[in-house]
A = this chain, B = another copy of it.
C-alpha cells in the first residue's frame, strides 16, 4: 500500500535544465529573497533551506530536523511558486536533496502545515499525494511490471503489502504482519469449515493464514495474474490448495454466499462511485444469519477528492474515504451494522518505517536493477506515507460489520486479546 512507480512522476520536462550549469550559477540577491520567502512559509517547522552555494536561507532556524538542499534556481522557483507540484518531482530528480532523515523533514513540514494550514496546505500536499499513490497503486496493471522479485526485496516473507499490527511494540515487521493476519481472523471469529470470500488478496497471505490456522475454505479474488501465480504456488507447497481457491476475477463477480467477507487494502481502489456495487456484493454474499465481514482500508477524517494529478496519472477512480462515508455508503446500504472500528494509523506509520529500513538495506540491488531515480521515488513515497500516518493526515481503519438482525461475531472484545476464543 505504499509506493509509486517512476513512470508516473517523469513528466517534469519543464524542470529540465542543465544541472551542472545551474549548480555553478552564482546565487543572486533575488535567489536569496526567494529562499527567505520559502523559508518563511515553513514557519515554525524545523527545516532549513540551503541553496546551491552552501548557505542557508535567511530566517532558517538554528536547530532543525533536517535541511532541504536546493540544487538550482529552477527548483527554488518551483518551491516558491507551488511546492505542492514541484517538491516531489524535484526531489526524485535529485535537484532537491535532504540532509538528515527524509521522514523527519517531511514530518516537520507536515506539522508546520497543521499549524499554518493556509500556507502549508499546498506545500505538504505531496505527503497526501504519496499516500494517494500508494493507495491507488495496487490495481494498476502497468505497475505490476515491477514484479514479485522487487517486492520480495523489502516486504516480509509473507509478502503482505498492507498495514501490520504491532501487538507488541517491539515486534519485527514479520511478526507484526502475522499478528495482523491473526487479528483479522479473530475479529471475524472464524470457525472450521466456514466459507470466506476475500476481495483483493494480494499474494495470498491472509487467505492461506485463514485456511491453515482456522480451517476455513476461502475464495480469494485478485486481478493480478502475477500475484496469483505466486499465491497458488505457495498454496500447493503448503498443501492448502484444496481449501483456498485463488480466482483471477473482479470480486464483484462472486457467486453464492459466505460466512465471512474480508477485504484488506482494497477499498481504497474501489472508488466512491462503486460503493453501491460493493454494498450489493455484501448484501447478497454475506449470510444474513451469523455472517460478518471486515474492511481494512486507508481512510481520512474528512472526505476530500483525490489529488487530480493522482487520479489522472496513477489510478482513475481511486479514492481514500472518510469513515463516515464507508459507514453510510457501504455498510448501511448492505443492511449491515457497524460492530467495531479500530484506527491503526500509528501501526501503519511503523510498518512504513520498517519498509523504509528494509528498502534501504536492499537499495543497492534495487538501484542496480532500476536506477537511482527509481530508488528516490520509492524512498520519498515510503517516507511521505509514514509522515502522513504519523501526523494523522491519513488513518487506517478496520471496520467489522454484520447483518443488522444477526448476532455480532463477538459479545465483548476481551477474547480477541486474551487468546480465549481466538480458536474455536
A residues with a Cβ closer than 8 A to B are 111, 114, 165-167, 169, 301-302, 322-325, 327-328, 331-332, 335-343, 345-347, 391-393, 395, 397, 404-408, 411-414, 416-418
Contact = CB atoms under 8 A, between A and B. Distances in A.
A328 B332 contact: no
Contacts of A342: 340, 413
Contact of A331 (B169, B301, B404): B301
9 contacts: A167-B414, A169-B411, A301-B338, A324-B327, A338-B341, A341-B341, A391-B404, A413-B413, A413-B417
The interface residues of chain A, by DSSP majority, are classed as mixed
B328 A339 contact: no
Nearest to A327: B324
Nearest to A346: B411
Given A111-B405, A167-B412, A346-B408, 12 more contacts: A114-B404, A167-B414, A301-B332, A301-B335, A322-B332, A324-B324, A339-B343, A346-B407, A346-B411, A393-B404, A413-B417, A414-B417
Closest 10 pairs between A and B when the two form their complex, measured CB to CB: A341-B341, A324-B328, A392-B404, A324-B327, A324-B324, A414-B417, A417-B417, A339-B343, A301-B332, A302-B332
A332 to B, nearest CB: 5
Contacts of A406: 392
A166 B338 CA distance: 19
Nearest to A179: B412
A327 B332 contact: no
Contact of A417 (B111, B337, B418): B418
Instruction: Count identical subunits in the complex.
Output: 2
Nearest to A395: B337
Given A323-B327, A327-B327, A405-B114, A412 B166 contact: yes
A342 B406 CA distance: 16
Nearest to A111: B405
Contact of A391 (B347, B405, B417): B405
A50 B174 CA distance: 65
Given A301-B332, A327-B322, A332-B302, A408 B338 contact: no
Contacts of A391: 404-405
Contacts of A336: 301
A120 to B, nearest CB: 13
A392 B405 contact: yes
A410 to B, nearest CB: 10
Contacts of A165: 412
Given A325-B324, A327-B324, A343 B332 contact: no
A304 to B, nearest CB: 11
Contacts of A301: 331-332, 335-338, 404
Contacts of A337: 301, 343, 345, 392, 395
Nearest to A403: B392
Contacts of A169: 411
A413 to B, nearest CB: 6
A368 to B, nearest CB: 38
A111 B400 CA distance: 23
Contacts of A411: 166, 169, 346-347
A359 to B, nearest CB: 24
A408 B343 contact: yes
A416 B417 CA distance: 9
Contacts of A408: 343, 345-346
Contacts of A338: 301, 323, 341, 343, 395, 397
Contacts of A345: 337, 408
A95 B339 CA distance: 39
Nearest to A342: B340
Nearest to A326: B324
Contacts of A111: 405
A169 B323 CA distance: 30
